[in-house]
Amino acid sequence: MILEYLSGPVVGAVIGYITNDIAIRMLFRPRQPKYIFGWHVPFTPGIIPKEKNRIAGAIGDSISENLMNREVLERTLLSDEMIAKIRQAVDDFATTQMSNDETVEQFARHYLTESEVAALRENATEEVSKLITLKLQDGAVGARIAHAATEHVVEKTHHSIAGHLGADKLLGALSTPIEKLLAKHINEVLQSHSGEMVSRMIDDEGTKLLHMPMRQLMAGHEEQVEQAKDSIISVYRTVITERLPRILEAIDISGIVERRICEMDMEEAEGIIMQVMHKELRAIVWLGALLGCIMGTVMTFVNA
């Protein structure tokens, strides 16, 4: 008697468990269509392998439109927490460099190769030298130097013994032609030798800078570090607010997700889904067993 009442719920539970387990497995398997004597077996391949491309497109569009869209990314990337992290990162970097005994060149080699450091130095030296040389070869530079030198001599003469003897008045009368002659010679020297002189000076200063310890370079520049921090935050905000749409368009998140899913082997895809939803899928299987048990119990009492 007891066996009759138990058999219905037990059989129902077993059937419910097995059918739900088979249904979940059929989401992924078989991975290829099956044929019997040329007749296509229904429900092969499994639902996910069969609709893989459509599912990949739908997931890509959903992520792009709902999870990784401009509004969501802007809200996340410009949040107070993110800005605070960037500020903290700059602070940590500056604090580390203030006690860093590495030279500027050694520090740069963490991020650049030796040839890139040399090329950067050479290009920077060349560009700065060209700029300064062009400025020095401007005729106005010689005139300014000559004017300043003449004024200085006249002033010194005025306050000297020679000035009391009237030499400053004579020198003042001759200052204009002297200034023009001096400017002419200065300009000639600058035209001929400014490039060489500037290159040598820039190269020497560049060498000193590269051999300077990072802590020495950073010392006494706390105010500049704060300014740099504000500038970095400002540039970051500008990039996110003004360039983010172009970045998202160039990245094509939807396409990347779709291609990645399409490229995945079904075994890999099944492993990922089972890893993420293992508990949920097993709960569905056991729910099938519970429903089967309930239905078996009901049928047992109905037929009693």
The predicted-structure confidence for 200-224, as pLDDT tens digits, reads as follows 666 666 667 777 888 887 777 777 7
Residue 111 and residue 257 in one domain = no
> Which DSSP helix (H) or strand (E) runs through 130?
helix 114-136
CA distance 112 to 118: 10
Of 178, 212, 246, which marks where a domain is finished?
212
- Position 45, amino acid: P
Residue 7 and residue 66 in one domain = yes
Give pLDDT, residue 185: 57
DSSP SS3 for 35: strand
- Of 231 and 186, which is predicted with more confidence? 231
pLDDT at 187 over 70: no
Please say whether the beta carbons of 261 and 55 come within 8 A. yes
Residue 187 and residue 234 in one domain = no
Task: Please say whether the dihedral angle defined by the alpha carbons of residues 86, 91, 92 and 96, taken in this order, is positive or negative.
Answer: positive
Give pLDDT, residue 18: 92
Half-sphere exposure at residue 262, Cβ-oriented, CA atoms within 13 angstroms: 12
CA distance 24 to 26: 5
Residue 206 and residue 228 in one domain = no
Question: Nearest 5°: phi and psi at 61?
Answer: -65, -40
Whole-Å CA distances, 267 to 29, 30, 59, 211 = 10, 11, 18, 56
Highest mean pLDDT among 122-131, 236-245, 278-287: 278-287
How many CB atoms within 10 Å of residue 302?
8
Place of tokens 């030798």: 193
The β-bridge relationship of strands 39-40 and 35-36 is antiparallel
Q: How many domains does the chain have?
A: 2
Residue 112 and residue 201 in one domain = yes
How many CB atoms within 10 Å of residue 22?
12
Structural domain boundaries, residue 183? 103-212
Residue 217 lies in a domain: no
63-77, 197-211, 271-285: lowest mean pLDDT where?
A: 197-211
Residue 198 and residue 229 in one domain = no
- Interval 232-245 mean pLDDT: 84
Residue 114 and residue 181 in one domain = yes
- Interval 148-155 mean pLDDT: 57
Residue 96 and residue 228 in one domain = yes
Residues sharing a CB contact under 8 Å with residue 240, sequence separation 6 or more, in sequence order: 73, 74, 77, 78
Residue 92 and residue 142 in one domain = no
Of 168, 190, 212, which marks where a domain is finished?
212
Residue 164 lies in a domain: yes
Task: pLDDT band for 73, please (50, 70, 90 cuts).
Answer: confident
Please say whether the beta carbons of 218 and 97 come within 8 A. yes
CA-based nearest residue to 43, from 54, 52, 32, 56: 32
Residue 107 and residue 203 in one domain = yes
Residue 109 and residue 81 in one domain = no
